[in-house]
């Protein structure tokens, strides 16, 4: 299938590692020129070089901390200056701490919202005038299945994700007339660099051994394993394509059919 992506321009946030890097690679392989951002310059530039070498596409790396409004605006505006347009915005940089309500501090809630929700708001707000001026665009928001499949240890990510899902649907209702469409992708657990850290946190908070904590997620997934980065990146690449522009104001779970309630039960 020709995804008709060749020559398009994508801005991908949080793409020096993990799912964002996988998305940048998958899009560049389809002929997309990409701009990526993250906070750590060395890691970001190493990834940009890796993407150029693997795909031969133009890759621009812009250091930015999306908890800061001025950085988000600078990222988006620099992409538009460098490439003359932004066809695709993939909001991906985001994480929110796990934990239970009686031990989570105010700072954990604010930290989650500041990046995982407001980081997306900031980039979308900056990209909209550019997309309107060029006659359309595509926004893909990497969110998470915690927003629709609740779990007591994931209440901060769950709240931030639910907010992002609502934002996605609300803006789809507003900007369709400008030919800008929005979709949310909700992964379950994905094997990234930070997966090990998450398992360690679960094992600490639930008084479980690392080995038992590591089996919690797979045992709640009918397919018996967590997702690989490429599986999420492939879905996002299809959704970023003009072929999927009509998939608007909705969200797609990619979580192997995870049954979160089984995780809560195992956590006790």
Ligand X SMILES: NC(=O)c1ccc[n+]([C@@H]2O[C@H](COP(=O)([O-])OP(=O)(O)OC[C@H]3O[C@@H](n4cnc5c(N)ncnc54)[C@H](OP(=O)(O)O)[C@@H]3O)[C@@H](O)[C@H]2O)c1
Contacts of 104 (CB under 8 A, 6+ apart): 97, 155, 156
> Residue 114 or 134: which CB sits closer to ligand X?
114
> Residue 99 or 189: which CB sits closer to ligand X?
189
9 binds ligand X (CB under 6 A): no
The region of 12-20, 25-33, 208-216, 240-248 touching ligand X under the rule CB under 6 A is 12-20
> Residue 246 or 267: which CB sits closer to ligand X?
267
The region of 58-66, 81-89, 97-105, 168-176 touching ligand X under the rule CB under 6 A is 58-66
43 binds ligand X (CB under 6 A): yes
16 binds ligand X (CB under 6 A): yes
Minimal distance, residue 65 CB to ligand X, in Å: 5
Which 71-100 positions form the footprint of ligand X (CB under 6 A)? 92-95
Question: What phi and psi, each to the nearest 5 degrees, are found at residue 101?
Answer: -60, -35
DSSP state of 255: S
DSSP state of 146: G
225 binds ligand X (CB under 6 A): no
Q: According to CB under 6 A, which one of 142, 156, 172, 184 is a site residue for ligand X?
A: 142
Distance of CA 60 to the CA centre of its chain: 19
H-type alpha helices, 98-209: 106-112, 118-134, 155-175, 195-206
Give CA–CA dist 142/148, Å, rounded: 14
115 binds ligand X (CB under 6 A): yes
Radius of gyration, alpha carbons of the chain: 18
> Residue 176 or 197: which CB sits closer to ligand X?
197
Question: What phi and psi, each to the nearest 5 degrees, are found at residue 228?
Answer: -95, 150
Structure tokens at 64: 């930015």
Which 184-213 positions form the footprint of ligand X (CB under 6 A)? 187, 189-190, 192-194
Contacts of 199 (CB under 8 A, 6+ apart): 210, 213, 214
Residues contributing to the site for ligand X (CB under 6 A)? 14-20, 37-40, 43, 64-67, 92-95, 115-116, 142, 144, 187, 189-190, 192-194
């Amino acid at each position: 299938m020709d995804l008709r992506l060749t020559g398009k321009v994508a801005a991908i946030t949080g793409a020096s590692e993990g799912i964002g890097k996988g998305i940048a690679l998958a899009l560049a392989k389809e002929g997309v020129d990409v701009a990526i951002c993250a906070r750590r310059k060395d890691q970001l530039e190493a990834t940009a070089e890796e993407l150029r070498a693997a795909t031969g596409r133009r890759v621009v790396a812009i250091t930015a901390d999306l908890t800061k409004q001025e950085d988000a605006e600078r990222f988006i505006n620099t992409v538009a200056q460098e490439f003359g347009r932004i066809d695709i915005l993939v909001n991906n940089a985001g994480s929110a701490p796990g934990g239970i309500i009686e031990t989570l501090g105010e700072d954990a809630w604010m930290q989650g919202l500041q990046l995982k929700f407001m980081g997306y708001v900031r980039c979308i707000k900056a990209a909209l005038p550019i997309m309107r001026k060029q006659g359309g665009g595509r926004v893909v928001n990497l969110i998470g299945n915690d927003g629709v499949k609740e779990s007591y240890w994931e209440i901060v990510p769950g709240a931030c994700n639910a907010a992002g899902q609502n934002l996605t649907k609300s803006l789809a209702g507003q900007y369709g007339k400008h030919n800008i469409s929005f979709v949310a992708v909700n992964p379950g657990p994905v094997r990234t660099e930070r997966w090990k850290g998450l398992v360690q946190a679960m094992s600490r908070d639930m008084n479980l051994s690392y080995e038992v904590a590591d089996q919690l997620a797979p045992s709640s997934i009918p397919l018996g394993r967590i997702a690989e980065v490429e599986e999420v990146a492939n879905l996002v690449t299809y959704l970023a394509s003009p072929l999927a522009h009509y998939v608007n104001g909705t969200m797609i779970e990619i979580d192997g059919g995870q049954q979160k309630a089984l995780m809560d039960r195992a956590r006790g």
